[in-house]
Homo-oligomer: A and B are copies of this chain.
Amino acid sequence: MRNIILNLAITLDGFIEGPNGEIDWLVRDDEFDFGDILTDILSDKDIIFYGRISYDKWGNSQPDENASQKIKDAYKLLHNKQKYVFSKTKKGDNTNAIFINSNIKESVLGIKEQPGKNIWLYGGAKLITTFLNLDLIDEYRLAVHPVILGEGKPLFQNIEDRHKLRLTDAKGYKSGVTLLSYKTDRTTNS
C-alpha cells in the first residue's frame, strides 16, 4: 500500500512559514542544493497532495529562468506527478490535477490502495491538520532548520489526539539542518 509522507522544512519552534509567508529562514546547505532536495523528495513518490491555498501558490510554480539545470529538471519531475487538490468548493482547473471536495478519508484510502509509489503530503498546515486528525499520515520527514522564528504558521495545530511515532532516522548536517524521519506507530497509540 502507498504511504502518505509529510516532507517539510520547519524551524526549531515548529513553524513552516513566517507570519507573512516568509521562508527566508531556510538555511542554505552546501552539501545539497534545492534541486537535489526536491529530486530526492520526489524519488519515491508519484502523487502529490495539496491544500487549495498551497496549490494556488505553489502547485504550478516554475523555476526562475536563471535557475540551474538541476532545479529545472526537478521542477519537470514535480509537474509530471499526479496532483490532487483538497478544496471544499473548487472542482478543477485547466490542468490534470484532480480536485477532491468531500469524503476525504474514503477518497484518500482509495488512492492509497491503488498500486504505485508513495504520496507526498505537500501541505499547507490546514490540510496537514485534517490528515493528522484522520490518522492518514504514515511517515514524517522533517528538515529542522536551526532557527527560533518566534511567530508564523505552526506545522502542528488543532491536533485532536496524541500520535506516537517511531524514529527511523536522525541526521545532522553541516548547514545546521537536522533530518528527522518517523513512522506513525499505530501499534501503541493510546
Contact = CB atoms under 8 A, between A and B. Distances in A.
Interface string A164-185: 1111011111001110101001
A160 interface: yes
Interface string A144-164: 101111110001100111111
Contact of A167 (B13, B14, B176, B182): B176
Contact of A162 (B25, B132, B159): B25
Interface size class of A (residues with CB under 8 A): 35 or more
B161 A150 contact: yes
> Which of A132, A146, A161, A171: most chain B CB closer than 10 A?
A146
Contacts of A146: 164-167, 182, 185
